[in-house]
């Protein structure tokens, strides 16, 4: 007999009767979650995270790894919702280089800002804990700008939403009606802060994400905030010391399964299949992140040797090279500000890195040039870094029932 995970209530929307789903509080019950179904997967996933945590020593600064990981996560979690921004767009925007799809890039940069805010709150002695208030403030940041202005940024919804379809009456799923959302979120918060949890932290994270997506407490941004919650809980529950995992890569690669597993919880109470899928994703994503760190460490070490061997490298050249992993696209103006040197000194440092086959000019112009640490950017995209040319040189996890603008 399938587990019952909630109940339907009849509500009205635009004069039409609608059946909305109200989830039962966590943890799963009647029957309880089958612990035998996830023990081995949980062990492998935790081991993969431990290995990942130990790899930051391969590079001089863990900030280099964090920079790339959170930008991958920001892009992939946004792309799950239809955003078309690319890594090049994001890095160009950070470098002050004009981009054409400004709204899409804004959505990605807003996610980065929201995640930075959440991490700062959790690390501050006076900051917010993982809570509804933390998520609503992150939501306010996420939806800042033209696209989110009408979606009640920073507020739990006061109207009915739905997933897939033109209205609640023909939607694939209708989350709880507005008057049920506050209690559902309160129950979720209570589960997160249970002082004596019976389940492993990775399993709890899986349950929390699924429950949040079922509640769907915002008019827009639920998918991104729900996945941000995964990253936040990984740090809060000491699964990772820093945000090195980009879980949305696995979820995007298995998008149909992702939504189907979430739907199967509501339809048949199959929490076990969802937990299994989530743990598989953690293991795969952690192993991918490990490979990425090894590749980045090897590339930076190789290119550092190249720069040190270059006969006319200056101190400014060496300093600029060490900044490239968190500033892989730049202009002379940006280099000047970062190094706090004169314009000619910054220009010479860039010229030296070009001649050492580390930087590549990307505009083809003689003026207003921009430069890219191209092989590093290729690694951030998940592509193998090219050899230098010269050794001398919407469904369940979607964010709104209506089409995205």
For residue 13, give the nearest of 229, 183, 171, 142 by alpha carbon. 171
Per-residue pLDDT, averaged over 189-212, amounts to 98
Q: What is residue 147's predicted lDDT score, i.e. its pLDDT?
A: 81
CATH T-level topology, domain 310-380: Arc Repressor Mutant, subunit A (1.10.10)
Rg from Cα positions in the chain: 23
The domain locations on the chain are: 6-291, 310-380
Q: What is residue 149's predicted lDDT score, i.e. its pLDDT?
A: 84
Tokens of 110: 């807003």
Phi–psi pair at 400, nearest 5 degrees: -160, 150
Our CA angle for 227, 228, 233, nearest 5°, is 100
Q: What is residue 383's predicted lDDT score, i.e. its pLDDT?
A: 57
pLDDT tens digit string along 257-303?
A: 999 999 999 999 999 999 999 999 999 999 999 999 999 999 999 99
Query: Cα separations (Å) of 49 from 44, 79, 232, 240?
Result: 9, 25, 15, 7
Q: Is the pLDDT of residue 403 over 70?
A: no
Q: Do the domains 6-291 and 310-380 sit in the same CATH topology, yes or no?
A: no
Percent of the chain with pLDDT over 90: 84
Across 185-194, b (16+ Cβ under 10 Å) vs e yields bebbbebbee
Beta bridge mates, 161: none
Average pLDDT, the chain: 92
Q: What is residue 247's predicted lDDT score, i.e. its pLDDT?
A: 96
pLDDT tens digit string along 56-67?
A: 888 888 999 999
Cβ(386)–Cβ(378) under 8 Å?
Answer: yes
Specify the pairing of strand 6-13 against strand 360-361.
unpaired
158-167, 182-191, 220-229: which range is least confident on average? 158-167
pLDDT band at 402 (very low <50, low <70, confident <90, very high): very low
Q: What is residue 390's predicted lDDT score, i.e. its pLDDT?
A: 39
Which pairs with CB-CB distance under 8 Å and at least 24 residues apart come from 152-159?
152/218, 152/219, 153/221, 155/218, 156/132, 156/181, 156/182, 156/185, 156/217, 156/218, 157/181, 157/217, 157/218, 157/219, 159/219
pLDDT tens digit string along 322-372?
A: 999 999 999 999 999 999 999 999 999 999 999 999 999 999 998 889 999
> Which DSSP category does 169 fall into?
G
Q: Is the pLDDT of residue 398 over 70?
A: no
Higher-confidence position of 387 and 306: 306
Higher-confidence position of 384 and 93: 93
Q: What is residue 386's predicted lDDT score, i.e. its pLDDT?
A: 56
pLDDT band at 50 (very low <50, low <70, confident <90, very high): very high
pLDDT tens digit string along 15-44?
A: 899 999 999 999 999 999 999 999 999 999
Per-residue pLDDT, averaged over 184-188, amounts to 98
Per-residue pLDDT, averaged over 172-187, amounts to 97
Q: Cis omega before residue 363 (within 30°)? A: no
Higher-confidence position of 393 and 287: 287
Q: What is residue 56's predicted lDDT score, i.e. its pLDDT?
A: 87
Q: What is residue 146's predicted lDDT score, i.e. its pLDDT?
A: 64
Tokens of 26: 């966590």
The helix or strand, by DSSP H or E, that contains position 18, with its residue range, turns out to be strand 16-23
3-state secondary structure of 356: coil
Higher-confidence position of 375 and 402: 375
Q: Is the pLDDT of residue 391 over 80?
A: no
Cα 171 to the center of its chain, rounded Å: 27
pLDDT tens digit string along 107-163?
A: 999 999 999 999 999 999 999 999 999 999 999 999 998 688 889 999 999 999 999
In CATH, what is the architecture of 6-291? Orthogonal Bundle (1.10)
Tokens of 239: 């699964």
The upper half-sphere exposure of residue 385, i.e. CA atoms within 13 Å in the direction of its Cβ, equals: 23
Q: What is residue 130's predicted lDDT score, i.e. its pLDDT?
A: 98
Q: What is residue 399's predicted lDDT score, i.e. its pLDDT?
A: 52
Q: What is residue 145's predicted lDDT score, i.e. its pLDDT?
A: 86
Contacts of 337 (CB under 8 A, 6+ apart): none
Q: What is residue 310's predicted lDDT score, i.e. its pLDDT?
A: 85
Q: Is the pLDDT of residue 373 over 70?
A: yes
Tally helices (H) and strands (E) across the chain.
Answer: 15, 5
């Amino acid at each position: 007999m399938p587990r019952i995970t909630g109940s339907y209530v009849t509500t009205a929307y635009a004069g039409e009767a609608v059946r909305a789903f109200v989830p039962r509080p966590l943890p799963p019950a009647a029957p309880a979650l089958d612990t035998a179904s996830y023990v081995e997967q949980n062990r492998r996933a935790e081991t993969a995270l431990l290995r990942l945590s130990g790899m930051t020593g391969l590079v001089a600064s863990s900030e280099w790894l964090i920079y790339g990981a959170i930008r991958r996560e920001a892009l992939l979690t946004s792309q799950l919702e239809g955003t078309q921004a690319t890594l090049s767009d994001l890095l160009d925007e950070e470098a002050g280089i004009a981009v054409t799809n400004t709204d899409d890039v804004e959505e990605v940069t807003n996610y980065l800002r929201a995640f930075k805010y959440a991490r700062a709150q959790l690390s501050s002695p006076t900051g917010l804990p993982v809570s509804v208030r933390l998520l609503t403030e992150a939501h306010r940041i996420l939806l800042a700008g033209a696209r989110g202005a009408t979606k009640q940024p920073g507020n739990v919804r006061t109207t009915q939403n739905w997933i897939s379809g033109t209205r609640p009456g023909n939607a694939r799923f209708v989350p709880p009606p507005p008057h049920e959302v506050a209690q559902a979120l309160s129950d979720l918060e209570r589960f997160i802060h249970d002082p004596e949890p019976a389940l492993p932290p990775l399993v709890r994270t899986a349950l929390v994400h699924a429950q949040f997506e079922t509640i769907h407490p915002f008019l827009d941004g639920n998918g991104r905030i729900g996945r941000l919650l995964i990253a936040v809980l990984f740090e809060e529950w000491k699964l990772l010391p820093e945000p090195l995992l980009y879980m949305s890569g696995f979820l995007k690669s298995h998008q149909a399964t992702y939504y189907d597993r979430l739907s199967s919880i509501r339809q048949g109470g199959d929490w076990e299949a969802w937990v299994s899928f989530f743990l598989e994703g953690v293991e795969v994503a952690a192993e991918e992140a490990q490979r990425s760190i090894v590749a980045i460490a090897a590339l930076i070490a190789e290119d550092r040797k190249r720069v040190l061997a270059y006969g006319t490298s200056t101190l400014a050249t060496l300093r600029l090279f060490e900044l490239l992993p968190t500033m892989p696209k730049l202009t002379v103006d940006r280099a000047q500000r970062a190094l706090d040197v004169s314009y000619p000194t910054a220009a010479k440092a860039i010229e030296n890195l070009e001649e050492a086959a580390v930087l590549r000019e990307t505009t083809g112009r003689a003026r207003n040039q921009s430069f890219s640490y191209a092989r590093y950017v290729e690694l951030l995209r998940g592509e193998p870094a090219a050899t230098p040319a010269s050794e001398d040189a919407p469904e369940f996890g979607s964010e709104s029932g209506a089409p995205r603008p």
